[in-house]
Structure 1
Amino acid sequence: MLATRLTALLGIRHPIVQGGMSWASSNAELALAVSEAGGLGVIAAGPMYPDDLRAAIARVRAGTRQPFAVNVPLYNKRAAEFLDIVLETGVPVIIASQGGPKAHIGRFKEAGVTWIQVTANPLHARKAEDAGVDAVIAVGGEAGGHPGPDEVGTLVLVRATVNAVTVPVIGAGGIADGAGIAAMLALGASGAQLGTRFLLTPESGLHAAYKDLVLNAGIGDTAIVGRGRSPIRMVKNAFSAEYEAAANRGADDAELDALFARSSLRQAAKDGDVAQGKVEAGQSAGLIDKLEPAGELVERLAREAEAALSGAASCIR
């Protein structure tokens, strides 16, 4: 076992957090498997209806005694209701993203809920710490979905965030194996969050065509789409090529906004339209060559991380 400040804070066996990914982990199955195996499983509330979120929480609670989390994007139109559900159902950990914690965190601290904040730069991490969060996730530019607008790589961002705050830091972006987890610990982080790696599991709630496209992607097969707006990292497809062509020929903001809005994550994740939908995934897709059950994956990642750290220590004379 790798005992860190994060494992102590959350009461988990391994310093491994499954990313809260809309549609992929907007269910009970993935979070349940990860938590039961000793990591922190995360239900992604974003695209869920409130009753479906309640049902997923109940199913995870019925299937494991281990801690789990709900990810709430604070910009979401249903965020207030999601936050109420987290409190009402006694979820032990909330992971908040895309919005600041200050307006909400008080009642969660009173209820004993652990609050983890997703951040994209050290300044935001420091502000989150000042607001009272228990830990921060530092998401580097390699990550799928919504990386920070500055696109700073994980290696630099995690180290800068560790230097900026005193709460535990969880490194994220470009991590697909135990060596990546070991790298985060070597940088001073207390754990690692993996998104794309857990996306490629049988338990993730994505269309098979989505998984196939990500599984066959190389490390250079993703692109940032929507710079200057709400940028996302996704696997290159017909939509991303069309958007890039429009941006390169100097299309105006109205045309780019309309083009960006024409495609959605749901289109790919639920309907299987991986040509025109937004197939969000990180550069670590190129490090993954198979689907793997989430519970077995957690156990393998933990073994690999221990081996990587032992191997690094053996270099010291």
Structure 2
Amino acid sequence: MASKNKITKLFNIKYPLIQAGMIWASGWKLASAVSNAGGLGIIGSGSMYPEVLREHIQKCKKATNKPFAVNVPMLYPEIEKIMEIIIEEKVGIVFTSAGNPKTWTNHLQQHGIKVVHVVSSVKFAIKSQEAGVDAVVAEGFEAGGHNGRDETTTFTLIPMVKEKISIPLIAAGGIATGRGMLAAMVLGADGVQVGSRFVATPEASSHKNFKQMVVEAEEGDTVLTLKELAPVRLLKNKFFEDVQALYARSPSKEELKDLLGRARAKKGMFEGDLEEGELEIGQISGLINEIKPAAEIVKEMISEFEAARKEVADF
């Protein structure tokens, strides 16, 4: 891996490989494991009360002396407390998502924190650069969890964003292998963010039932739905079928909200209710066939990346 890589320099890490901050999966165990393996681990604060986040940050610091980050969805109701804790605990890198990057970027940077914003379109990548972020994650609609409305794929999004911004660019959505990593970087990304692959690890805090369903998933088993509320990619299950049945009646937003209710994602991904829970995962789950330690995944991806790079050089 070249020493001049913008992402490894920006974050002071060995490989330009970042683990996504996924709700109910990305606690301190996963983040520290990825950071110790040479990538950048991320604690996903979206499913944590402020004091729970503080505990995860403190445990992560004890488990690794390498850089790690916190992901903050800006729709979070107690975001002021979350940001206060991040600053108090001297976290060096924050990934923001689902909101206006102008809101917190300058404040965090004044405390010496590097800020990365997650986008799903060229328009928001440009706005993020204008807001002064240090890098952007451009995420195609193959990705799991909450997603862009435009359904722009990673393969299309990365070169379009690359054309319009000058700051470091991280590709996300549908990347789980070294070959996928190389493809994204050939298209213009400086690094990659990987979510779904790290769900199927012993270190992920998600429920074993959910991990097993990810491993068993095949092509076509996920779908992007609930666009009227916030687009989300889910595994098909009873809850998804209930959503489809409601759509057949042309529901109002209120009816969709009533069906969604509260804590659906927790019920599915953290508590392991595969029937009534919301099971967020990316399309690439069809390529994930076993649960293995995060360090092994990092090692395999980098090894495959280097091998594929040599193959392409021989063309």
Q: Shorter-chain TM-score category?
A: over 0.9
In 1, distance between residues paired with 2:51 and 2:306?
Answer: 40
Which amino acid in 2 is paired with 1:152?
A: T
Unmatched segments (≥5 aa) in structure 2? none
1:251 deviates by: 3.1
In 2, distance between residues paired with 1:178 and 1:89?
Answer: 33
TM (norm. structure 2) is: 0.97
Aligned: 1:23 with 2:24: yes
**Does the 8 Å CA contact 2:228/2:253 hold for their aligned counterparts?**
no
1:135 deviates by: 0.3
State the match for 1:7 in structure 2: 8
**Does the 8 Å CA contact 1:149/1:228 hold for their aligned counterparts?**
no
TM (norm. structure 1) is: 0.96
State the match for 2:297 in structure 1: 297
Which amino acid in 2 is paired with 1:102?
A: K
State the match for 1:152 in structure 2: 152
In 2, distance between residues paired with 1:135 and 1:231?
Answer: 24
Of 64-73 and 262-271, more deviation after overlay is shown by: 262-271
**Does the 8 Å CA contact 1:2/1:15 hold for their aligned counterparts?**
no
State the match for 1:77 in structure 2: 77
In 2, distance between residues paired with 1:58 and 1:180?
Answer: 33
Of 32-41 and 49-58, more deviation after overlay is shown by: 49-58
In 1, distance between residues paired with 2:44 and 2:196?
Answer: 14
- Show CA shifts across 1:211-243 (max 9, x none): 111110012100112022211101000111121
Unmatched segments (≥5 aa) in structure 1? none
1:182 deviates by: 0.4
1:147 deviates by: 1.3
CA-based RMSD of the aligned residues comes to: 1.3
Which amino acid in 2 is paired with 1:184?
A: A
Which amino acid in 2 is paired with 1:23?
A: W
State the match for 1:256 in structure 2: 256
State the match for 2:178 in structure 1: 178
In 2, distance between residues paired with 1:80 and 1:46?
Answer: 13
State the match for 1:194 in structure 2: 194
Divergent runs of 4+, >6 A: none
Number of aligned residue pairs: give it: 314
Q: Secondary structure at the match of 1:46?
A: helix
Aligned: 1:119 with 2:126: no
Aligned: 1:106 with 2:106: yes
- Show CA shifts across 1:152-199 (max 9, x none): 111001111111111111000011110110011101100111100001
1:246 deviates by: 2.0
Q: Secondary structure at the match of 2:256?
A: helix
1:152/1:174 CA distance change after superposition, 3 Å = same
In 1, distance between residues paired with 2:85 and 2:262?
Answer: 31
- Show CA shifts across 1:116-168 (max 9, x none): 00011111111111111000000101000011011111100111111111111
State the match for 1:269 in structure 2: 269
**Does the 8 Å CA contact 1:120/1:138 hold for their aligned counterparts?**
yes
Q: Secondary structure at the match of 1:138?
A: strand
**Does the 8 Å CA contact 2:147/2:230 hold for their aligned counterparts?**
no
